[in-house]
């Protein structure tokens, strides 16, 4: 029986894909993949996924125009909500918000969480060199904290010039997530808004491996212990990160109750999904650890999905 809860699976509405193509946009060096609910369910069947929380990937919906970004965010969220209604129990969704338009983001968060039944929001780690944690975006975090929202942090391409032959997804994505984590820690996001649950994609980028190195920068007064405490407040998914090299670092650093399964489909192909699922299957976890990572920790974040995982 399918048991896994996938907290990192993407949705690509056809209208959104067409809009990106017309703008010549890709996802950090990856072509925008095809998506359908039938393909998603087939992928889930193959990997033993009972339910998935869908989210939009980079580049999001803001390509320079606030009004257009608000319209696209609403279209994407209405589409995702319709998918959830079509397959109740199999899907949830993180709402897309039009940052850096803070006013528009607050309005869309209210609509998606209060009227569409969104399970949380997805935020890009950075938008035009502004990182999560910047005080400019505090009004959004205040709104999300009032609802005890789950915030999924997904990487984006770096604002710096690309390196020829090095696609953004290979390294820049990991750095983008790491920078966002440091910024949120340094600005005390989870201390000031303790009702938020913040989930970092891809095992937090470089965070587990380099936590001791970056800890002082994560605390406003440079205290090592405080920086480590702040980094341990995050939740971490293992999308494309279940290797025998990454897992020991993540398990040594993060609270085991804050680690969730993710597939990153369809940006990570079904072949890649099988590869990383096999790595997870082969990794020496205890039965309680495996159950926690593959489903129990996600159910603590999204209890309404319990029926699908039963």
Residue-wise pLDDT tens digits, 135-163: 999 999 999 999 999 999 999 977 777 78
Distance CA 21, CA 263 (A): 24
Contacts of residue 48, Cβ cutoff 8 Å, sequence gap at least 6? 2, 3, 4, 277
**Residue-wise pLDDT tens digits, 206-226:** 999 999 999 999 999 999 999
Closest C-alpha among 277, 198, 284 to residue 238: 277
Token reading at 67: 């009004």
Q: Which of 65-79, 167-181, 193-207, 247-261 has the lowest mean pLDDT?
A: 167-181
User: Which pLDDT tens digit goes with each residue over 57-67?
Assistant: 999 999 999 99
Average per-residue pLDDT for the chain: 94
Percentage of the chain lying above the pLDDT 70 cut: 98
Q: What is the pLDDT of residues 106-124, one digit of tens each?
A: 999 999 999 999 999 999 9
Average pLDDT over residues 252-276: 96
Is the predicted pLDDT of residue 20 greater than 70, yes or no? Answer: yes
- Greater confidence (171 vs 101) lies with 101
Region of poorest pLDDT, from 23-37, 72-86, 125-139: 23-37
Does 39 score more than 70 pLDDT? yes
How would you write the chain as a 3-class SS string?
CCCEEEEEEECCCHHHHHHHHHCCCCECCECCCCCCHHHHHHHHHHHCEEEEEEECCCCCCCCCCHHHHHHHHHHHHHHHHHHHHHCECCEEEEEECCCCCHHHHHHHHHHHHHHCCCCEEEEECEECCEECCCHHHHHHHHHHHHCCCEEEEECCCCCCCCECCECHHHCHHHHHHHHHHHHHHHCCHHHHCCCCEEEECHHHCCHHHHHHHHHHHHCCCCCHHHHHHHHCCCEEECCCCCCCCHHHHHHHHCCHHHEECCCCCCCCCHHHHHHHHHHHHHCCCCHHHHHHHHHHHHHHHCHHHHHHHC
pLDDT category at 31 given cuts 50, 70, 90 is: confident
pLDDT of residue 158: 72
> Is 164's pLDDT higher than 60?
yes
Sequence-distant (≥ 6) Cβ neighbours of residue 204 within 8 angstroms: 177, 178, 181, 234, 236, 250, 254
Q: Taking 70 as the threshold, does the pLDDT of residue 2 lie above it?
A: no
The pLDDT of residue 30 is: 79
Statement: residue 53 has pLDDT above 60: yes
**Model confidence at 169, in pLDDT bands (50, 70, 90)?**
confident
What value does the mean pLDDT take over residues 241-267? 97
| pTM score, whole prediction | 0.96
């Amino acid at each position: 029986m399918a048991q896994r809860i996938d907290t990192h699976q993407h949705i690509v509405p056809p209208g959104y894909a067409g809009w990106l193509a017309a703008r010549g946009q890709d996802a950090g060096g990856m072509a925008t993949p095809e998506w359908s609910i039938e393909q998603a369910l087939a992928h889930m069947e193959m990997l033993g996924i009972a339910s998935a929380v869908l989210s939009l990937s980079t580049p999001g919906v803001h390509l320079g125009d606030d009004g257009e970004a608000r319209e696209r965010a609403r279209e994407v969220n209405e589409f995702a909500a319709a998918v959830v209604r079509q397959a109740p129990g199999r899907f949830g969704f993180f709402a897309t918000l039009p940052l850096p338009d803070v006013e528009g983001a607050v309005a869309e968060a209210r609509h998606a969480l209060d009227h569409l039944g969104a399970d949380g929001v997805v935020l890009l780690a950075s938008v035009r060199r502004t990182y999560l944690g910047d005080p400019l975006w505090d009004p959004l975090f205040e709104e999300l904290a009032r609802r005890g929202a789950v915030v999924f942090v997904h990487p984006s391409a770096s604002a710096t010039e690309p390196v020829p032959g090095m696609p953004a997804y290979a390294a820049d994505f990991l750095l983008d997530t790491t920078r966002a984590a440091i910024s949120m820690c340094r600005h005390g996001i989870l201390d000031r808004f303790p009702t938020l649950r913040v989930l970092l994609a891809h095992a937090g980028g470089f965070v587990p491996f380099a936590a001791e190195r970056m800890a002082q920068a994560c605390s406003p007064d440079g205290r090592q212990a405080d920086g480590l405490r702040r980094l341990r407040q995050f939740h971490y998914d293992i999308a494309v990160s279940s290797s025998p090299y990454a897992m020991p670092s993540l398990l040594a650093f993060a609270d085991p109750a804050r680690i969730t399964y993710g597939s990153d489909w369809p940006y990570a192909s079904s072949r890649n999904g099988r590869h990383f699922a096999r790595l997870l299957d082969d990794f020496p976890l205890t039965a309680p650890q495996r159950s926690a990572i593959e489903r129990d920790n996600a159910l603590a974040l999204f209890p309404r999905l319990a029926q699908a995982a039963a």
